């Protein structure tokens, strides 16, 4: 697809984003329709042929849902079974009794931190969000505090630590050792995670939201301190076992981890191919759902079990549509060439070398939404420049990865997954919940990069 003239692309970008913000904040138009309208206007005003605009919208919607739509569907079905069977309650009890009360945010952030090393953050959040919801319901701690801690832990290692595709691609482009990038990525990720947890604790008091007892809706009572009495004192023998409660979550994670390791090792053979297939996220989460159906729904009839899952699908519909709409907007912005145009312009400036990949990744992230695309594009443009300068290529690679975390908003599919699964519908609150969180993470990473560059 031919890229259109630079100044017109930038004008189209500004008009499209401004229109999107007005539609979402000031009109009755639903976020899904607003995203599609903004995507079309951005492309047309930016000078893209109308057929190319339509193609980009369809491609972005399809690509996004091709990777995450089925997983969301499976995940919410699994979530309903967790709620109805008592598995979610058992998981919450186990978490708090083993770790001690008051440590739920850190525990969920660490869970996300570890899980997202082999697993895409979108998939990880869908799989693990029932745990945050269950802990919130049992302890009366805001689901926002818990959900944001989990989501932050997931996105940070997803963006900084191989073997997720973005950091692996960046390592290859900068020709750095993947092991070094893993080590330094984890070092940078720890302060970023702690900062996100502190913000999540603050935010949970400002947006105090709890799931209802039946798990079907959300309520906002007056703020109260967490109450651990019921969850620490009660012993409900009717709940599923701890093993069976966690199995639908743990089994897919193990399968995906095996897939990641075998793929990285480039192993081959019949058994290996079978394990790689079983470890693809869609298949792995599907297996987790089957485990939930047969391991947790014993007290329900066939029709009751199907009704439970269909109730979950109803809640997934809007999440899937809006997530796909974000993908459409991101694809139009990507195909217009606006991000590449801005990146090439920045690369001609006199920025300090270590900041070059960081700034370019930041701008591309803001333009088109995908963190992976932002870091890969930044690395592609800056790696040849950095190679001629006195810059540690590992830190340059981390700069590209860190820049890709800046201000997640409407054109990022993960923004919609996190906000919608936490029951946040108001656009201003959505930005406080996730856009501000990612910007805090990004800012802490920026400071860390400057310190590392100064020392080493």
CB-based contacts of 24-28 (< 8 A; 24+ apart in sequence): 24/410, 24/427, 25/427, 25/428
Model pLDDT, residue 436: 98
* CA gap 62, 252 in Å, rounded: 24
What are the residues facing 210 on neighbouring strands? 219
144 Cβ partners below 8 Å, 6+ apart?
Answer: 200, 203, 204, 207, 208, 209, 422, 424, 433
Which residue do the tokens 């920045």 mark? 346
Q: Tell me: the pLDDT tens digits for 67-80?
A: 678 888 888 888 88
Q: Which of 152-156, 211-215, 404-408 has the lowest mean pLDDT?
A: 211-215
pTM: 0.81
Categorize the per-residue pLDDT at 235 as very low, low, confident or very high, splitting at 50, 70 and 90: low
Contact yes or no for 93/231 (Cβ under 8 A): yes
- Tally the residues of the chain: 456
Average the pLDDT over 9-35 and give the result.
87
Model pLDDT, residue 118: 67
DSSP, residue by residue, 330-376: HHHHHHHTHHHHHHHHHHTS---TTHHHHHHHHHHHHHH--HHHHHH
Half-sphere exposure of 346 (CA within 13 A, CB side): 23
Contact yes or no for 157/402 (Cβ under 8 A): no
For residue 340, pLDDT over 60 is answered with yes
Eight-class DSSP state of 217 = S
* CA gap 247, 32 in Å, rounded: 34
State the chain's mean pLDDT as an integer. 87
Q: Which of 50-59, 155-164, 337-346 has the lowest mean pLDDT?
A: 337-346
Q: Tell me: the pLDDT tens digits for 289-331?
A: 999 999 998 888 999 999 988 887 876 777 788 878 888 888 8
For residue 417, pLDDT over 90 is answered with yes
Q: Phi and psi at residue 93, in whole multiples of 5°?
A: -60, -50
Model pLDDT, residue 7: 80
Categorize the per-residue pLDDT at 155 as very low, low, confident or very high, splitting at 50, 70 and 90: very high
For residue 55, pLDDT over 60 is answered with yes
Model pLDDT, residue 237: 67
Categorize the per-residue pLDDT at 2 as very low, low, confident or very high, splitting at 50, 70 and 90: very low
Categorize the per-residue pLDDT at 166 as very low, low, confident or very high, splitting at 50, 70 and 90: confident
Model pLDDT, residue 179: 81
| SS3 of residue 211 by DSSP | strand
Instruction: Extract the tokens encoding 234.
Output: 């009660």
Instruction: Choose among 412, 426, 436: nearest CA to 148.
Output: 436
For residue 219, pLDDT over 50 is answered with yes
Model pLDDT, residue 1: 46
* CA gap 57, 328 in Å, rounded: 4
Average the pLDDT over 324-353 and give the result.
82
Average the pLDDT over 1-19 and give the result.
77
Count the helix, strand and coil residues of the chain and give each as a percent rounded to the nearest 5. 75, 0, 20
Eight-class DSSP state of 388 = T
Contact yes or no for 344/367 (Cβ under 8 A): no
Average the pLDDT over 101-130 and give the result.
85
Model pLDDT, residue 234: 60
Average the pLDDT over 213-233 and give the result.
83
Contact yes or no for 285/74 (Cβ under 8 A): yes
Extended beta strands in 96-220, E state: 210-211, 218-219
For residue 399, pLDDT over 60 is answered with yes
Which range, 103-117, 370-384, 437-451, has the best average confidence (pLDDT)?
437-451
Share of the chain above pLDDT 90, in %: 40
Model pLDDT, residue 193: 96
Model pLDDT, residue 292: 92
Model pLDDT, residue 236: 64
């Amino acid at each position: 697809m031919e890229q259109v003239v630079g100044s017109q692309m930038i004008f189209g970008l500004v008009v499209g984003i401004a229109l999107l913000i007005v539609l979402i904040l000031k009109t009755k138009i639903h976020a899904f329709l607003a995203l599609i309208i903004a995507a079309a206007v951005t492309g047309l005003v930016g000078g893209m042929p109308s057929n190319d605009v339509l193609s980009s919208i369809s491609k972005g919607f399809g690509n996004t849902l091709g990777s995450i739509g089925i997983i969301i569907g499976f995940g919410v079905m699994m979530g309903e079974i967790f709620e109805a069977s008592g598995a979610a309650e058992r998981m919450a009890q186990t978490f708090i009794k083993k770790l001690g009360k008051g440590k739920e945010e850190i525990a969920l952030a660490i869970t996300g931190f570890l899980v997202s090393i082999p697993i895409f953050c979108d998939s990880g959040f869908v799989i693990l969000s029932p745990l945050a919801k269950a802990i919130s319901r049992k302890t009366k701690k805001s689901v926002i505090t818990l959900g944001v801690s989990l989501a932050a832990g997931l996105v940070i290692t997803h963006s900084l630590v191989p073997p997720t595709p973005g950091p692996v691609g960046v390592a290859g482009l900068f020709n750095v050792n993947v092991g070094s990038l893993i080590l330094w990525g984890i070092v940078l990720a720890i302060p970023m995670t702690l900062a996100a947890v502190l913000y999540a604790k603050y935010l949970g008091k400002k947006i105090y939201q709890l799931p209802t007892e039946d798990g079907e809706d959300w309520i906002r009572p007056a703020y109260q301190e967490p109450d651990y009495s019921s969850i620490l004192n009660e012993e409900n023998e009717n709940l599923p076992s701890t093993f069976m409660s966690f199995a639908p979550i743990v089994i897919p994670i193990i399968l995906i981890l095996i897939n990641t390791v075998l793929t990285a090792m480039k192993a081959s053979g019949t058994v290996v191919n079978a394990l790689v297939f079983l470890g693809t996220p869609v298949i792995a989460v599907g297996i987790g759902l089957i485990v939930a159906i047969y391991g947790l729904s014993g007290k329900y009839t066939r029709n009751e079990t199907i009704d439970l899952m269909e109730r979950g699908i109803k809640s997934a519909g809007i999440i899937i549509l809006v997530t796909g709409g974000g993908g459409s907007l991101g694809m139009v912005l990507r195909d217009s060439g606006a991000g590449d145009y801005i990146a090439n312009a920045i690369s001609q400036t006199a920025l300090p070398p270590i900041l070059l990949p960081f700034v370019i990744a930041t701008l591309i992230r803001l333009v088109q939404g995908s963190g992976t695309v932002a870091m890969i594009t930044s690395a592609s443009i800056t790696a040849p420049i950095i190679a001629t300068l006195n810059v540690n290529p590992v830190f340059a690679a981390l700069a590209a990865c860190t820049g890709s975390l800046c201000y997640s908003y409407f054109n990022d599919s993960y923004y919609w997954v996190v906000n919608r699964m936490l029951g946040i519908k108001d656009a201003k609150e959505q930005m406080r919940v996730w856009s501000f969180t990612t910007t805090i993470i990004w800012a802490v990473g920026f400071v860390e990069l400057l310190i590392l560059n100064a020392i080493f």
